Structure 1
Amino acid sequence: MGHVYYHYPGDKQFSLYFVNPDPNRIVSEIIYDDDVAMEMRQCDLDEEFYVVYTSRVGGGAVKDLDFSLTDALERMEPDTGVIVTRFLEIYRGTVK
C-alpha cells in the first residue's frame, strides 16, 4: 500500500491542498497567484488519483518586516485583541 504525504516528498515547504481522481477537477483547483507555488503528483493506491500541494512564496526575511504589533492590536475589536494577546502569551511561554 502506498502513502499520500501531507508534505510534498523532497520539499517540506509544500503542504497537501487537494486530492481527486478527476484531472479536470485538479485543473479547476489550480491557483493563479504570484504568492502561491504548486506541485502535483499522480498516485495510484487502489485507483489513480492526483494530489496537489501548495506553498506560499516570497515574503522575505522576518527581520525585514515593517510591522507594529501594538498598532495592529489597537485596530482590532477589543475582544479580538484580548484573544490574540493571550495566544501570543501562550506561544511565548512554549518557546522559552
Structure 2
Amino acid sequence: MSNESGRPIGINTDIVLEMFQIMGNNKTANDILIVPWARGYSQAKSKTAAVALFSTTRTKAREDLFKWVGPISVAANSLIVLKNNPHQVE
C-alpha cells in the first residue's frame, strides 16, 4: 500500500521499518521499493539481490525457500456477501 506520492504506508511497513531501526539499519520508507508481487517474489527466490519481501503468506511450499522473520501480522480471509444475495456459497 502506498500514499499519493508512492511512498509505502501501512502497519506492515511501520513494523518492518521498526525492525530495521532495532537492527541499527537506517532505512526509511523512501528506501522501500514497491514492485508487483510476482517480481518481488522472484527476486527474493533468486537470492542474488538484497531483497526483503513483505507481506506474503507463509505456506508449506514456501517454508524452505526463505529465512522467515515473522509473522509481522496475522490475517484471516473471509468471503462476505449481502444477506439477500441469491448466490449460494458452500
TM-score normalised to structure 1 length: 0.24
Of structures 1 and 2, the larger Rg is shown by: 1
* Greater helix proportion: 1
